[in-house]
């Protein structure tokens, strides 16, 4: 949707597009950035106001409809629909041979221990959710898939649950990093980065991407958008530590949590 919105706007500024459509410039900016896409009615009205071609209008409305169907919003709705999202992820992970992901401050789902997951959720999501999660975790043990997991070092620094839970979680990440089918990269915090850290996302092969926010989960299938996520993943990969360098970051975090488990609650 973002590229199509930019194409429809053409040479006009966002402010000019706002005057023509009656929307605010900030709303147009957010939609073009992919943060808050238009609903179907708004998409149609906006495209017509800017004199878009009929094919462009139909395409924009179709993208808005797809986003509305696949974007789960609202915490209560997310909790009720969580098992559906887990099943969708399991299906995507089973179909792809290459999974690329980036996380900013939470261990990726495929790499979480059960105790870490429980502490993260803060409530029991129900047996259907756990069954779907177990189905997803089976992918980690499949030899014909490649997982390229990227994370910020903040994932290791942000303790969840207890020092014991975190020590076990970091040890699990170290074990996963030693597998031949998993490439684990950690972007260190103690350096200057040329880009801002993006929100969490995953790319399933070349066909689908998923973006997670505080209030929703969106699945994206537009090729141009997936290509942009692929470029972002490649750029983040260039900033990440791998192999022995990644293990040193894991060892440092594990030691801090082991010391915290021995002395009491981890200082925050």
Q: Report in angstroms the alpha-carbon separations of 263 from 163, 257, 258.
A: 10, 10, 9
pTM: 0.65
Q: Report in angstroms the alpha-carbon separations of 256 from 95, 122, 161, 193.
A: 38, 24, 15, 25
Tokens 């070092």 belong to which residue?
153
Whether the Cβ atoms of residue 191 and residue 154 lie closer than 8 Å to each other: no
Rounded to whole angstroms, the Cα distance separating 131 from 125 reads: 11
Whether the Cβ atoms of residue 242 and residue 184 lie closer than 8 Å to each other: yes
Three-state secondary structure call for residue 74: coil
pLDDT at 56: 87
Angle, vertex CA 138, rays to CA 146 and CA 114, nearest 5? 110
pLDDT at 150: 97
**Interaxial angle between packed helices 2-9 and 54-70, expressed in degrees from 0 to 180 and rounded to the nearest 10:** 150
Collect the ranges in the chain with pLDDT lower than 50.
69-81, 265-268
pLDDT at 211: 86
pLDDT at 75: 37
Element (H, E) at 215: none
pLDDT at 264: 52
pLDDT at 66: 60
pLDDT at 132: 78
How many CA atoms, within 13 angstroms, populate the side-chain half-sphere of residue 11?
A: 0
pLDDT at 233: 96
pLDDT at 48: 92
pLDDT at 174: 95
Q: Give the chain's length.
A: 268
């Amino acid at each position: 949707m973002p590229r199509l919105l930019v194409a429809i706007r053409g040479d006009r500024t966002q402010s000019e597009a706002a005057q023509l459509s009656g929307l605010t410039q900030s709303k147009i900016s957010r939609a073009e950035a992919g943060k808050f896409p238009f609903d179907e009615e708004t998409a149609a009205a906006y495209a017509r106001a800017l004199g878009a071609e009929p094919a462009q209008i139909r395409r924009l409305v179709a993208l808005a409809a797809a986003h509305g169907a696949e974007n789960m919003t609202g915490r209560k709705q997310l909790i009720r629909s969580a098992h559906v999202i887990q099943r969708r992820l399991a299906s995507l992970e089973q179909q792809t041979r290459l999974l690329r992901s980036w996380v900013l401050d939470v261990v990726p789902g495929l790499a979480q221990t059960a105790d870490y997951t429980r502490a993260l959720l803060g409530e029991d999501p129900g047996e259907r959710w756990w069954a779907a999660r177990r189905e997803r975790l089976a992918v980690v043990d499949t030899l014909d898939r490649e997982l390229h997991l990227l994370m910020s070092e903040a994932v290791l620094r942000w303790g969840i649950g207890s020092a014991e839970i975190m020590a076990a979680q970091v040890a699990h990440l170290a074990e996963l990093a030693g597998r031949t089918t998993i490439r684990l990269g950690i972007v260190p915090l103690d350096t200057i980065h040329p880009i801002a850290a993006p929100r969490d996302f995953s790319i399933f092969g070349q066909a689908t991407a998923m973006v997670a926010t505080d209030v929703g989960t969106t699945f994206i299938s537009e090729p141009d958008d997936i290509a942009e996520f692929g470029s972002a993943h490649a750029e983040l990969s260039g900033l990440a530590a791998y192999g022995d360098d990644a293990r040193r970051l894991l060892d440092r975090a594990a030691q801090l949590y082991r010391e915290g488990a021995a002395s009491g609650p981890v200082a925050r």
